[in-house]
Amino acid sequence: MLADRPTGYDIVERLESEGQYRVASLAPLRWRRMMESPLGFFRGAALLMAEDLARGPSAPVTVQICGDAHLANFGVFASPERRMVFDLTDFDETDVGPFEWDVKRLVTSLVIAAESLGLRHGAQERLARSVAREYRVAIRRFAEETRLDVWYSTLTTSSLMQDLRAAFTDVTRRRIEDVLQHLRGTDDTSAYQRFVVPGEHPRIVDDPPHFSHDEGADETGITSEHIMGIIEKYQESLSSDRQLLLSQFTAVDTARHVVGVGSVGTECFAALLCGRDHRDTFFLQIKEARESVIARARERRSDGPSALRVVHGQRVMQVTPDAFLGAGEIDVDGHSRSFYVRQLYDHRASIDVERLDDTLLEAYGRICAWTLARAHARSGTSAQIAGYLGGSPRFDEAIADFAAAYRERNAYDYATLHDAVVQGRISTQG
């Protein structure tokens, strides 16, 4: 069950404490997005859950964890081999931690989503147990495979449908396939058409808050020259062949980029790069990395630059990490700032929860659980995790109980945030 919070624990103060690392003018947007729904709040409150988990008992087996493995941080994207794969997609909070922290965050997010879809608590419990069981069975299966087979195990959208033949009815499989068809993301060609002002000197459109240009330095001292400097320096972290490829492109414009819920306010930029001509383009995302919520909750400082932590975690947990994934540092007003870089648009897309019902939510949750188990197995500890979990359903039941309890805590915290707005403690205006 849940550990009690310390007397006087203030969730608004804890969330506001993250503001010291963020662009202050974007705080109202962050609050608005968190207030849209209990699931939106949950997505933006990774720190609260990490601190709650740190206060309770944890398994002795640690691995590279995502740190924020909620249902919207899984999705489809194009691999360097141009296959559409399903995997974890966000690693801002990745760190070494107890494996079950990821499982608890995933299952809790699914239960909160089920609540928003109107599922009764009995159905939510069955969903939670089913997803936890999928993780337990998958991790045992990975423990029996060779290390190389685990490392190269990829879940493409085509293989996914084949694997589902024995798990779901024909009707359910067809509905899952329909959901996957609607997971088509944005590629660089369509992104250019939507987000670029064409011409002899192409420029990213101004479309606040999604894209905007800062005149001079922004609130934390970052300028477009800094971003260009990061792009130049980060190339050293790429393999020699990727350096050669990137050298054939020129960065022609940068803009502030705002996405998601939990990331709102983090220094994040988009860069437009052109190769042979205006039809030969792609986007990079340049995002600042700070100490993970896992490290903060466990009161343990991470070694080395935070961006290297993110890059390392993604390369460990993803089977096909971005070809342009890398990290670089710059000096701003005498302080070293750490950024990681990746492609911004490469058919990346996540699930639309509103398209799901109880059957599809369970199917999607089981797919995420298999993917999470594979990501954890890549750390080489699948046998230890499998041995710790055993063959009984006790783990499934414990995770389901935790998810139900945390659904209630999240609802209480969500209401507390609303009260803070009414009382004027925080503002959503701006």
* Same domain, residue pair 120 and 236: no
* Same domain, residue pair 174 and 232: no
Note whether residue 5 is domain-resident.
Answer: no
* Same domain, residue pair 179 and 195: no
Beta bridge partners of 74: 88
Cα separation, 399 vs 231, in Å, equals: 42
* Same domain, residue pair 160 and 204: no
Inter-CA distances, 44 with 14, 264, 388, Å: 12, 9, 31
Tokens 């995002």 belong to residue: 287
Inter-CA distances, 124 with 111, 121, 178, 365, 399, Å: 6, 5, 23, 12, 12
Cα separation, 157 vs 259, in Å, equals: 25
Q: How many domains does one find in the chain?
A: 2
pLDDT at site 23: 84
Cα separation, 184 vs 146, in Å, equals: 33
pLDDT at site 106: 98
pLDDT means per 10 residues, the chain with 430 residues, are 91 91 86 95 96 95 96 79 78 96 98 95 96 95 85 61 55 63 55 76 86 77 88 92 93 88 84 84 91 92 87 92 90 87 73 77 89 93 95 96 98 96 89
Note whether residue 220 is domain-resident.
Answer: yes
* Same domain, residue pair 201 and 261: yes
Last residue of a domain, one of 308, 343, 378: 343
pLDDT at site 322: 86
User: Based on the number of CB atoms within 10 Å of its own CB, is 193 exposed (0-12), middle (13-18) or buried (19 or more)?
Assistant: exposed
* Same domain, residue pair 133 and 241: no
pLDDT at site 320: 83
Domain that holds residue 205: 188-343
Inter-CA distances, 166 with 161, 163, 170, Å: 10, 7, 10
Contacts of 193 (CB under 8 A, 6+ apart): none
* Same domain, residue pair 176 and 209: no
Q: Which two tokens stand for residue 26?
A: 């974007």
Note whether residue 383 is domain-resident.
Answer: yes
Note whether residue 35 is domain-resident.
Answer: yes
Note whether residue 368 is domain-resident.
Answer: yes
Note whether residue 226 is domain-resident.
Answer: yes
* Same domain, residue pair 363 and 335: no
pLDDT at site 20: 78
* Same domain, residue pair 387 and 248: no
Last residue of a domain, one of 343, 366, 383: 343
Inter-CA distances, 88 with 75, 92, 224, 313, 364, Å: 6, 12, 30, 11, 13
Last residue of a domain, one of 302, 323, 343: 343
* Same domain, residue pair 198 and 97: no
* Same domain, residue pair 319 and 390: no
Note whether residue 91 is domain-resident.
Answer: yes
* Same domain, residue pair 297 and 370: no
Look at strands 211-212 and 203-204 and give their pairing: unpaired
Cα separation, 295 vs 290, in Å, equals: 10
At 60, which amino acid appears? P
pLDDT at site 364: 86
Note whether residue 1 is domain-resident.
Answer: no
Q: Phi-psi category of 118—alpha, beta or left, where left has phi over 0 and alpha has psi -120 to 50?
A: left
Inter-CA distances, 410 with 38, 46, 52, 264, Å: 7, 11, 11, 20
